[in-house]
Structure 1
Amino acid sequence: MKNNIIITATLLIFINITNMKAQDRSAIQQQKNMNNTDLATLRKNKVKTYFKKVDEGQFDEEYFNLYTDDVEIYYPKFGFEKGKNGITNFGKVMGAHLQSLSHDIDNFKYVISDHSIVVEGTERGITKSGKEWPDNKISYGKFCNVFEFEDEFIKRIHVYVDPDFTSEDVDRINIFKNPSLPINKESLKTTKEVIDEFFALQSGKKEGNILDLFSDHADWDLPGNKQKFPWTGKRQTKKEIEEFFEELYSNVKPEKFEIDFIAVNGENATATGYLSSKILKFNKIFTTEFVVIFKVVNGKIVKYHFLEDSYKLNEEMQSKAINVQ
């Protein structure tokens, strides 16, 4: 009888201990779930802060504190960048192309896992040239961002979006055009036609706006001493190219401009020639041969490199001449 009592008591103690351990495990799991929920909420709020800061153009301390020091960013056509300096470089590229950008944050769809948050949504904006997008006919403003976290900080941002915001990538549009929709074909000028029009507008033989021949973002370069000759240097946007022509014609009086020949190979073209100009600040005539390198994509100039004897220009313009006819 005594042995039975001992065995029963032992079993009760064992059962109680087992129940206590189970309760402890359940409490620990509940706490862990609560911690995970809190972390997921914190991360989601940081993602929202990211989009709000981008839309407002507020790249301040709070914005950069969203990231780890070795954060990685990827964007189509732009490629990869690392670190907070990389984030800054990416912002400069986008800032040079876009006047404004806004995301429909309230209607985002989120997929949240242990270390990542995927965001699907829509965006809209205005380019530096004043074009609004999307048009909801060819471009729809859809995007998907993948955020990877290290604790509460963003460690990786990979953006999946069509960077052709204003639907100027006509060749690709025609490839993927939905056959059930009406086709809207646009006649594109050839590389040679664009180059010929460029020189006709530049020389005054044809009326029009030469800026219309350029894409919104162009690789423009005219090497030279920019402090001495403000029309030289690199440019990217139409606004900067417009400023080139303003600087050029307020500092230089064209005397002679002749094209020897133009060679075209697909999107690429090269023009060679001879020019003579009066540099007004020095009241001197400068003559040189030149080469212009063009690239034309979808009827728009995306590359313009003007190469002249910039060393000769710098050396000859040392002091102001007394008389020049």
Structure 2
Amino acid sequence: MKNKIIITATLLIFINITNMKAQDRPAIQKQENMNNTDLATLRKNKVKTYFKKVDEGQFDEEYFNLYTDDVEIYYPKFGFEKGKNGIANFGKVMGVHLQSLSHDIDNFKYVISDHSIVVEGTERGITKSGKEWPDHKISYGKFCNVFEFEDEFIKRIHVYVDPDFTSEDADRVNIFKNPLLDINKESLKTTKDVIDEFFALQSGKKEGNILDLFSDHVDWDLPGNKQKFPWTGKRQTKKEIEEFFKELYSNVKPEKFEIDFIAINGENATATGHLSSKILKFNKIFTTEFVVIFKVVNGKIVKYHFLEDSYKLNEEMQSEAINVR
């Protein structure tokens, strides 16, 4: 009898423990998922820090603390290196060749798994000899980095990119040249066609989507006080250019926009003119001459710089309009 009581009590304890574990399992799983999410976010932030440090040329303690002591790096033509000294050695090699390097971090595409993060994106730069890249003809600045992690630290970084940034390897360029490219170019719009269509769409003389005239990545600049005039500043993507037009037309009412002349030289074009606009926030008319610098490659605008008297704009718009009800 005594033995039966002991066995029964033991079974009850076992059942209770099992039930407690079953009840705790969702909470434990939730905690593990949260921890995994936190770790993935931390690792992604480390990747962003890596690119920011590289772009700024800040190879300081924070930069080297991103890595494990036995980190491995691979880069085409450079090969493999090990350890933080290997990372420093790679940086020196790149520093001899490049004057500047920048990555379009905001538009990266990420693939995140248990221990790795893969980044696809675009980069641009200037070589020590002063050559800018990509040229959007042969080179497009595309790259892919694979980061492998040990806890929160980068254990392996393999970079997949064409190190012939400025397409000087003529033999390989000729070997891999797309034979259909020249045929396709015949159907592309000329620089004049693109510029004429741009101003026709901007003025409302033609219907269509002005964003279709732009390349996926654009050197866009409209200098000005961005805090005061949010439509000014640098942009790179179609999404950012779309935001420009939204910000422009919600803050500015065009009064007059006239082109004086357009000069075209191959892919490059310059337009000059004068405009008058009402700045709605200040309820004042702003009048200025302007110059627009374009570059058109393969029928798409890859450069757009709009230069106006930004100092005059900032000085004349000093007091906001008061709404009287």
TM-score by length of 2: 0.53
Q: Check 1:188–1:38 CA distance in 2 against 1; reply closer, same or farther (3 A cut).
A: closer
- Measured after TM superposition, the shift of residue 20 of structure 1 is 2.5
State percent identity of aligned pairs: 94
Q: Which residue of 1 aligns with 2:30?
A: 30
Distance 2:163 2:108 in 1: 20
Q: Check 1:140–1:68 CA distance in 2 against 1; reply closer, same or farther (3 A cut).
A: same
- Measured after TM superposition, the shift of residue 19 of structure 1 is 3.7
Distance 1:26 1:208 in 2: 54
Give structure 1 regions of 4+ aligned residues with deviation exceeding 3 angstroms.
1-19, 183-325
Q: Deviations over 1:63-83 (max 9, x none)?
A: 010011111111000011111
Q: May I ask how many residue pairs the two structures share in their alignment?
A: 325
Q: Check 1:274–1:55 CA distance in 2 against 1; reply closer, same or farther (3 A cut).
A: closer
8-17 vs 284-293, greater mean Cα deviation: 284-293
Q: Deviations over 1:14-67 (max 9, x none)?
A: 776544221212211111111111111111100000000000000001001001
SS in 2 for 1:184: helix
78-87 vs 213-222, greater mean Cα deviation: 213-222
Distance 1:296 1:74 in 2: 35
Distance 1:234 1:71 in 2: 36
Q: Check 1:259–1:103 CA distance in 2 against 1; reply closer, same or farther (3 A cut).
A: closer
Whether contact under 8 Å (1:51, 1:105) holds in the other structure is yes
Q: Which residue of 2 aligns with 1:134?
A: 134
Q: Check 1:188–1:254 CA distance in 2 against 1; reply closer, same or farther (3 A cut).
A: same
SS in 1 for 2:217: strand
Whether contact under 8 Å (1:109, 1:121) holds in the other structure is yes
Q: Check 1:137–1:292 CA distance in 2 against 1; reply closer, same or farther (3 A cut).
A: closer
Whether contact under 8 Å (2:185, 2:298) holds in the other structure is no
Distance 1:108 1:277 in 2: 36
Q: Check 1:67–1:297 CA distance in 2 against 1; reply closer, same or farther (3 A cut).
A: farther
Q: Check 1:16–1:102 CA distance in 2 against 1; reply closer, same or farther (3 A cut).
A: same
Whether contact under 8 Å (1:73, 1:158) holds in the other structure is yes
Whether contact under 8 Å (1:129, 1:216) holds in the other structure is no
- Measured after TM superposition, the shift of residue 181 of structure 1 is 0.4
Distance 2:23 2:284 in 1: 93
Whether contact under 8 Å (2:76, 2:159) holds in the other structure is yes
Q: Deviations over 1:215-266 (max 9, x none)?
A: 9999999999999999999999999999999999999999999999999999
TM-score by length of 1: 0.53
Q: Check 1:187–1:94 CA distance in 2 against 1; reply closer, same or farther (3 A cut).
A: farther
Alignment RMSD (CA, Å): 17.2
Q: Check 1:9–1:43 CA distance in 2 against 1; reply closer, same or farther (3 A cut).
A: same
214-223 vs 115-124, greater mean Cα deviation: 214-223
SS in 1 for 2:182: coil
Q: Check 1:13–1:205 CA distance in 2 against 1; reply closer, same or farther (3 A cut).
A: closer
Q: Deviations over 1:171-215 (max 9, x none)?
A: 111111112201899999999999999999999999999999999
Distance 1:107 1:224 in 2: 24
Q: Which residue of 2 aligns with 1:253?
A: 253
- Measured after TM superposition, the shift of residue 162 of structure 1 is 0.2
Distance 2:206 2:196 in 1: 10
Q: Which residue of 1 aligns with 2:178?
A: 178
SS in 2 for 1:182: helix
Distance 1:321 1:15 in 2: 75
Whether contact under 8 Å (2:137, 2:297) holds in the other structure is no
Q: Deviations over 1:112-140 (max 9, x none)?
A: 11111111100000000110000111001
Whether contact under 8 Å (1:128, 1:237) holds in the other structure is no
SS in 2 for 1:217: strand
